[in-house]
A and B are shown apart, each in its own frame.
Chain A
Amino acid sequence: MESDRNNLIIEDWQSLVNKPVYSSNGNDIGIVRSVQPEFLITSYGSITQDRYLIPKSSVQSIKNGIIYINEDSDFVEQNFKFE
């Protein structure tokens, strides 16, 4: 498995579950809750959760247990939020 756009090779996507995700402009997008074949499903908030479908190809890097994606928070809000 790999994140095509960034040539980032991730052997075990399942290991990203429970890891935090940050947008390119440094905003917290949420925590990875599950992994689908093409997406990471993240949720944000404790009571009414916002949920996002993050394409695996958006993962730019993983540093110190934090997943960084290519898109900024506005783009994420407009294109990845599904609930």
Chain B
Amino acid sequence: MENKNFTNSYSRSSNNNGTAAERLKSLYGHFVAESSKLFPKVDQKLLLDMIHLETSYKDWEGSVLLKIVYSSKSKVDTTKKKEEIFQLYQKMPDEVIEGRTLRVKLIRMYIKNLEELITSDRDIEFVTGSATLAPSDSYSDSA
């Protein structure tokens, strides 16, 4: 009982702006808002999964399934886009939606590489997909 009281009083005294839980939620909210500003074209779930794997597992191989969505306004040549991705990563993407979405499974794709991919191609409107701890040949949503 004494220990419990000590813990509770410590939690309260450690933070004058509410409970630890409230503060943690607030910090997380700020983090998500900031990550959304830094990577506005990336699906937040993909981004958070990649950050988690990249920072938690130093030997993570950067295994991701990317779905790259091109702007419907710019009428992109997806055949050319496929070749560009092949040149960069030696993997040929599938076309999920004609003229709009390519899907490709990659390794060694870290946040920095994702940033480079997006900044190198203005036709990219959005990137979604999934990141997994271990590489897989599957094309399911869970990679």
Chain A contact residues, CB within 8 Å of chain B: 34, 36-39, 41, 53, 78-83
Contacts and interface: CB of A to CB of B under 8 A. Distances in A.
Contacts, number: 38
A39 B41 CA distance: 9
Chain B interface main SS type? mixed
Given A36-B40, A83-B97, 7 more contacts: A34-B43, A34-B44, A34-B45, A36-B43, A41-B43, A82-B67, A82-B97
Given A34-B43, A34-B45, A37-B36, A80 B67 contact: no
Interface in B33-49: 36-37, 40-41, 43-45
15 contacts: A34-B44, A38-B40, A41-B128, A53-B69, A53-B126, A78-B72, A79-B72, A81-B97, A82-B67, A82-B69, A82-B96, A83-B67, A83-B69, A83-B97, A83-B128
